[in-house]
Homo-oligomer: A and B are copies of this chain.
Amino acid sequence: MIKVGLVGGTGYTGVELLRLLAQHPQVHLHAITSRKEAGLAVADLYPNLRGHVDLIFAMPDDASLTDCDVVFFATPHGVAMRQTPGLLAAGVRVIDLAADFRLKDAAVFEQWYGIPHSCPKLLDEAVYGLPEINREQIRNARVIGLPGCYPTSIQLGFAPLLAGGRKLVDPRHLIADAKSGASGAGRKAETSLILTENYDNFKAYGVKGHRHHPEIKQGLEAIANSEIGLTFVPHLLPTIRGIHSTLYASILPDAQGTNFQQLFEQYFSNEPFVDVLPAGSMPETRWVRASNYVRVSVHRPNDGDMLIILVVEDNLVKGASGQGVQCMNLMFGLPEEMGLTHIPVMP
């Protein structure tokens, strides 16, 4: 059994992690900390866990995190980077659901997250936890920076077109028109998030610039091994879970003969959690609700020169907590799918 600790855990990625870990056959939930909710039973905050999770939120100092094999951080940006060096020194591995270990460049981190990075040297060592791209590195990682929710879907959608230096689409004008359910904004007391402001409504946000933009760019450039240009427009759906990314790429003249359906199927043929749909399919966010699956389809209307890729994921699972468990499985030599094969809830 893997001894797991959780720092944070009062937010949505935290409760989702608890749901997954509590049902994982090889996990022992050892400790959970929250400065704000110390003393409260986890199941009192999240009654869905009643009868399944008996833990009580502990003060950070009281929790024996250093006894754990791995510690997840489901905290605001900036917390993990302060505690990670100590945990590593104690031989504990770290999986951060926030942004502390996503970006390779500390200056870019500071630019977008507004705080200087406290352990920039660890950024080189930290592995970007997208198993479909970095599986082998994840196995041996001590520190995982889990991808953001949008970046997961967008990188997986573009990857087959860019990987291995393929010259299939114009890399300078990639467009990601992405839509996310409101849980992506977290569990925060903000007027802009209340139901009355968002129900029966739809809007774009962050058009000027969004924190996930540099992360996606960095990831796609690593996949393509060359510079790319990306336009990224996130939108807020009046739903709880689910991201739907609609991706646009112009097919290069020399690549007009490509069978893109086949390309995608082959690229993901061994992936347990990426489901390339039959040609013509249009995935729905509910097809992956509460599951770790990503479903992708690729379209080329009228055999023209525009390629459209549709990607759906559950932002709290494959876009966050499930991906964390997937990385943990890899890090501890467990079957990659263990504890993650829950069938999506539909309807």
Contacts and interface: CB of A to CB of B under 8 A. Distances in A.
Interface of A: 12, 15, 19, 22-23, 46-52, 173, 175, 177, 179, 181-183, 185, 187-191, 193-205, 207-209, 229, 231, 233, 235, 237-242, 244, 246, 248, 250, 275, 277, 280, 282-291, 293, 295, 299, 301-302, 304, 306, 308, 310, 316, 341-347
A286 B239 contact: no
Contacts of A187: 191, 194, 196-197, 347
Given A173-B250, A299-B208, A182 B196 contact: yes
B207 A182 contact: no
Contact of A239 (B51, B201, B235, B341): B201
**What are the nearest 3 A-B pairs in CB distance?**
A48-B344, A48-B346, A203-B284
A285 B203 contact: yes
A224 B111 CA distance: 41
Given A199-B199, A202-B284, A289-B345, 18 more contacts: A15-B347, A48-B287, A49-B343, A175-B248, A177-B246, A179-B202, A193-B195, A193-B196, A194-B194, A200-B242, A200-B286, A201-B242, A204-B310, A207-B308, A208-B301, A209-B301, A237-B237, A345-B345
A316 to B, nearest CB: 8
Nearest to A206: B282
A196 B299 contact: no
A22 B343 contact: yes
Nearest to A283: B203
B231 A306 contact: yes
Contacts of A308: 207, 231, 233
22 contacts: A19-B343, A23-B342, A47-B283, A52-B343, A173-B173, A181-B196, A187-B197, A189-B190, A195-B198, A195-B199, A200-B200, A200-B240, A200-B241, A201-B242, A204-B246, A204-B282, A207-B310, A208-B301, A209-B301, A231-B301, A233-B246, A237-B238
